[in-house]
Amino acid sequence: MSTADAQRTGKTMLSIRDLGIEISGDASHPVLKGLNLDIPRGQTVALLGESGSGKTLAAYAVLNLLPQVARVTSGEILFQQTDLLQLPAKKMSHILGNQIGMVYQEPSTSLNPLMQVGKQIGETLRLHKSLGRRAAREQVLSLMELVGVPDPRRRYRNLPHQLSGGVRQRVVIAMALACRPDLILADEPTSALDATVQAQILDLLSRLIQDLRMSVFLISHDMGVVAALADRVAVLKGGIVVENGDVRDVLKDPAHPYTAAMLSGDIQGGKMQVATSITQTESAPDACPFLNDCRWARKECRTATPEETIIDGNRMVRCFLHTQTSVTEGME
Amino acid sequence: MTESSEIISEAVEVSKAYSSRPGFGAGSGKRTLVQAVDRASLQIVHGESVGLVGESGCGKSTLGRLLLRLEMPTDGTVWFNGADITRIRGRKLRMKRRQMQMIFQDPASSLNPRFTVENTLTEAITAHKSKLKGRALKAHIAALLNMVGLPVSSLERHPHEFSGGEKQRISIARALAVEPRFLIADEPVTALDLASQGQILSLLQSVQRELGVAFLFIAHDMETVQRMCSRTAVMYLGRIVEFAPTEALFKTPKHPYTHALLLSQLSKDPDLRTAMHLLPGEPPSPLNPPAGCHFHPRCPHADIQCKTLVPLPRPVGENHVVRCHFDFDGNQKSDPKSNEDNLYESGKKEKKRP
Ligand SMILES: Nc1ncnc2c1ncn2[C@@H]1O[C@H](COP(=O)(O)OP(=O)(O)O)[C@@H](O)[C@H]1O
Ligand SMILES: Nc1ncnc2c1ncn2[C@@H]1O[C@H](COP(=O)(O)OP(=O)(O)O)[C@@H](O)[C@H]1O
Ligand code: SF4
Ligand SMILES: [Mg+2]
Ligand SMILES: [Mg+2]
């Protein structure tokens, strides 16, 4: 089934096609170079990439919140038949919170430091669902219960700084869920938390994903988080998705050398590039983005970016090792 | 290895309390105490790499600063190479300090943005009254750059021209400039991307191996210390709750908190996702720590005595010390053979001095 078909039949919640984003300014450079990613209804799809690879920019593009310096150079983002990139700001603000809920890494990004947290969750409800004060309060309390905020009635009146990091993130999750959105966008939802608290929040998210059958766009640099939550994973490198498939397939038997290197922790980060690191310019614009670090690189890898190739029916990989020969032959 | 002659750095029941004014709106402005470090003991042997792990705010950086005597403990003593460095000052202290260095989490803010790499390294060398000049100085600097894997062409450049990982190499070179015998690396890779993390860890490993420098490696994750350290201490709310050879700590953790930390490590295997074992709650505020064992509100094994009695460090194996009232065999709890000596009432201080 083509992407357009899937969109029409409503099986795909979000479809990012050929998204290009460039950072302008003195050292203007592309960050995303044709990102493709689909989120089927009811699934959690992770975008996995190192810090600085452009994950948050992709999320901001979906939310129409790109910073001034970032410019969309190509592509479309289809959300329920609508291209979000073409949507007027006013319509977008209706979608945000109402149909798309957001969970950021830093609770401080989403929370107003001067407003009682219960009220903040209520605002979202009253704004989008035009609920009365009392009805909203009841819903807020049950949301707080749902996300495991201890003693909701007392916490309702707390300001964000009076809560521990874990409880704050639960409040942010409650806000994201408030309007029962169709899609949750979670950008590094546990990266700011300590180990034992991270485990709690991941447990909460995975239960919510199951119970509410949510569609989730998960963004993370951490393979452990992806393994804990995602159904599918797309691996981002050099502005494109180099591998995309079922999370078990990808993490247990990576097809792309970059995914394999990330899993084994054996990322070398290229040759020392003193003074070129600011601009991050690649030697040849049309080369495999993993070229400099790849043990399997051959001549053709320098000449062009590998095309999307489907292997095992359900997995996409962009690597010359897979255009003719099988992975295992190439890599072992 | 417990022979004192081999120990380079040692904390003996050190404590550090900060007085902090409660924030605005919190009343009279009365000062309260934050017990950042609470009677922590730790020994580091020459050439050894010791890990210090725990969740943020548990006192790791403070203990690091105490060991280097960048701060004065409120209680206890700190030894370096046989001298009690809480009792010396001036030139004598500077001589000791020169042999210990610190590498920080954020290389950007620890490097002077106006200094070239050459300025930075020259200053580090001469600040400690090294007599190196001219050719010898240049050669020393070149050797340092080589050690940390930076090209000589970096000398004329400023910090902003380098990536995060490269900046961290510069701060490692600066720390090595005075030929220290003891280095504290305080979460040196936390702020770096994946590729640089691996490189910097490998670099620190080779520094330790080749120069025989002793390391205290501060981290908030278990994975890093497992890779880097032969012994590891686990901290919880100011106290070292377990200190053991890293292998033993991972194989047979004796403290319920260590056990929980190990279980909350994320697996990269999607099939293990159901195996999450959760610890309830979060680390409490050090402004208002729980009585008895600090861990008791979250501990699945807590008993009445845990709520009132502070567990003292207790040996449970070779080089293995734990602060818990009980012994565990898997999840089976039992009273340790002779526990009486190890109990004292919270608040009362009866200290053994070396
Ligand atoms: N506001 C901004 N101004 C300048 N550059 C930016 C801005 N936001 C992002 N970038 C650049 O875009 C790249 C991708 O950033 P980001 O999407 O935040 O990465 P990630 O979320 O994967 O860590 C980075 O290299 C960063 O330097
Ligand atoms: N200079 C200081 N003044 C007041 N409180 C401090 C100071 N330094 C650290 N603290 C407090 O001491 C505790 C331990 O801090 P720290 O040693 O930085 O922990 P960690 O490095 O494990 O994150 C924290 O509660 C922190 O707020
Ligand atoms: S002393 Fe008690 S509360 Fe503390 S860790 Fe041991 S069993 Fe748990
Ligand atoms: Mg980001
Ligand atoms: Mg610290």
Tens digit of each residue's pLDDT (9 = 90 or more) over A3-28: 555 555 568 999 999 999 999 987 78
Write out the two tokens for B2: 């417990």
| Mean pLDDT for chain A overall | 87
Q: Which of B193, B272, B283 sits opposite A52 (nearest CB)?
A: B193
Determine, yes or no, domain membership for A59.
no
Contact residues, chain B, for A56 at CB < 8 Å: none
Average pLDDT over residues B39-54: 96
Q: Which of B160, B198, B270 sits opposite A248 (nearest CB)?
A: B270
pLDDT of residue A41: 94
Tens digit of each residue's pLDDT (9 = 90 or more) over B217-245: 999 889 999 999 999 999 999 999 999 99
Ligand 4 center to A209 CA (angstroms):
22
Angle of helix A195-211 relative to helix A165-177, nearest 10 degrees, comes to 20
Domain count, chain A: 1
Nearest atom in ligand 3 to the alpha carbon of residue B296 is: 3
Determine, yes or no, domain membership for A324.
yes
Can you give the three-state secondary structure of chain A, one letter per residue?
A: CCHHHHHHCCCEEEEEEEEEEEECCCCCEEEEEEEEEEEECCCEEEEECCCCCCHHHHHHHHHCCCCCCEEEEEEEEEECCEEHHHCCHHHHHHHHHHCEEEECCCHHHHCCCCCCHHHHHHHHHHHHHCCCHHHHHHHHHHHHHHCCCCCHHHHCCCCHHHCCHHHHHHHHHHHHHCCCCCEEEEECCCCCCCHHHHHHHHHHHHHHHHHCCCEEEEEECCHHHHHHHCCEEEEEECCEEEEEEEHHHHHHCCCCHHHHHHHHCCCCCCCCCCCCCCCCCCCCCCCCCCHHHCCCCCHHHHCCCCCCEEECCCEEECCHHHCCCCHHHHHC
CA B97 to chain centre: 17
Ligand 1 contacts CB of residue A69 (under 6 A): yes
The residue whose CA has the least distance to atom 3 of ligand 3 is B296
pLDDT of residue A130: 78
Cross-chain Cβ contact B195/A267 below 8 Å: yes
CA distances from A261 to A55, A238, A251, A296, A328 (A): 19, 15, 11, 12, 15
Confidence of residue A137 (pLDDT cuts 50, 70, 90): very high
Least confident of A181-190, A318-327, B14-23, B83-92: A318-327
Which residue out of B237, B304, B326, B333 has the highest number of ligand 3 atoms within 8 Å of its CB and is therefore the one to mutate? B326
Contact residues, chain B, for A251 at CB < 8 Å: 268-270
Write out the two tokens for A156: 């309702």
For chain A, the residues whose C-beta falls within 8 A of a C-beta of chain B are 50-52, 164-167, 194-200, 202-203, 206, 221-225, 227-230, 247-248, 251-252, 262-263, 265-270, 272-275, 277-278, 293
Cross-chain Cβ contact B268/A223 below 8 Å: yes
CB A183 within 8 A of CB A13: yes
Determine, yes or no, domain membership for A301.
yes
Cross-chain Cβ contact A199/B165 below 8 Å: no
pLDDT of residue B107: 84
Ligand 1 contacts CB of residue A4 (under 6 A): no
Determine what percent of chain B is predicted with pLDDT higher than 90. Answer: 67
pLDDT of residue B30: 61
CA pseudo-torsion sign A301, A306, A310, A314:
positive
CA A25 to chain centre: 26
Q: Chain B: give the shortest CA distance to residue A35, in Å.
A: 21
Ligand 5 center to A5 CA (angstroms):
52
Cross-chain Cβ contact A266/B283 below 8 Å: no
Determine, yes or no, domain membership for A31.
no
CB neighbourhood size of B260 (10 A)? 22
pLDDT of residue B354: 37
Tens digit of each residue's pLDDT (9 = 90 or more) over A26-49: 778 999 999 999 999 999 999 999
Nearest atom in ligand 2 to the alpha carbon of residue B56 is: 23
Least confident of A41-45, A270-274, B337-341: A270-274
Nearest bound ligand to CA B285? Answer: 2
Give the burial string for A277-289 (b: 16+ CB within 10 Å, else e). Answer: beeeebeeeebbb
Q: Which of B150, B160, B273 sits opposite A272 (nearest CB)?
A: B150
Average pLDDT over residues A229-248: 97
Task: Tell me the pairing of strands A82-83 and A100-103.
Answer: unpaired
Cross-chain Cβ contact B195/A202 below 8 Å: no
Contact residues, chain A, for B150 at CB < 8 Å: 272, 274
Contact residues, chain A, for B195 at CB < 8 Å: 50, 267-270, 293
Determine, yes or no, domain membership for A106.
no
C-alpha span between B106 and B103 (Å, rounded): 9
Average pLDDT over residues A255-273: 74
Which residue out of A32, A37, A56 has the highest number of ligand 1 atoms within 8 Å of its CB and is therefore the one to mutate? A56
Determine, yes or no, domain membership for A260.
yes
pLDDT of residue B131: 79
Determine, yes or no, domain membership for A198.
no
| Radius of gyration of chain A measured on its C-alpha atoms | 21
ipTM: 0.81
Task: Check whether A280 has a pLDDT greater than 70.
Answer: no
Least confident of A95-109, B144-158, B196-210: A95-109
Task: Check whether A271 has a pLDDT greater than 50.
Answer: no
Ligand 2 contacts CB of residue B32 (under 6 A): no
Least confident of A123-137, A304-318, B63-77, B114-128: A123-137
The residue whose CA has the least distance to atom 1 of ligand 2 is B18
Determine, yes or no, domain membership for A23.
no
Ligand 4 center to A28 CA (angstroms):
19
Nearest atom in ligand 3 to the alpha carbon of residue B306 is: 2
Cross-chain Cβ contact A224/B166 below 8 Å: no
Q: Does B288 touch chain A (CB under 8 A)?
A: no
Collapsing DSSP to helix, strand or coil, B112 comes out as: coil
Q: Which of B151, B165, B268 sits opposite A269 (nearest CB)?
A: B165
Q: Does B10 touch chain A (CB under 8 A)?
A: no
Cross-chain Cβ contact A277/B222 below 8 Å: no
Tens digit of each residue's pLDDT (9 = 90 or more) over A81-134: 899 999 998 899 889 888 999 998 877 778 999 999 999 999 888 877 778 888
Task: Check whether B209 has a pLDDT greater than 50.
Answer: yes
C-alpha span between A330 and B16 (Å, rounded): 57
Q: Chain B: give the shortest CA distance to residue A261, in Å.
A: 10
Tens digit of each residue's pLDDT (9 = 90 or more) over B54-84: 999 999 999 999 999 999 999 999 999 999 9
| Mean pLDDT for chain B overall | 88
Q: Which residues fall within 8 angstroms of residue A117, CB to CB, at 6 or more apart? A: A111, A155, A156, A158, A159, A160, A163, A168, A171
pLDDT of residue B343: 45
Ligand 4 center to A302 CA (angstroms):
29
Write out the two tokens for B305: 């005595």
Q: Which domain holds residue A264?
A: 250-330
Q: Which residues fall within 8 angstroms of residue B332, CB to CB, at 6 or more apart? A: none
Contact residues, chain B, for A269 at CB < 8 Å: 165, 193, 195-196, 198-199
Average pLDDT over residues B310-317: 94
C-alpha span between B54 and A7 (Å, rounded): 47
Task: Check whether A54 has a pLDDT greater than 50.
Answer: yes
pLDDT of residue B228: 94
Task: Check whether A233 has a pLDDT greater than 70.
Answer: yes
Tens digit of each residue's pLDDT (9 = 90 or more) over B7-40: 999 999 999 999 876 554 444 456 688 999 999 9
Confidence of residue A166 (pLDDT cuts 50, 70, 90): very high
Task: Tell me the pairing of strands B182-186 and B100-103.
Answer: parallel
Write out the two tokens for A173: 């999750």
Collapsing DSSP to helix, strand or coil, B259 comes out as: helix
Q: Which residues fall within 8 angstroms of residue A5, CB to CB, at 6 or more apart? A: none
Q: Does B264 touch chain A (CB under 8 A)?
A: yes
Q: Does B90 touch chain A (CB under 8 A)?
A: no
Confidence of residue A186 (pLDDT cuts 50, 70, 90): very high
Phi, psi of A55 (to 5 degrees): -65, -50
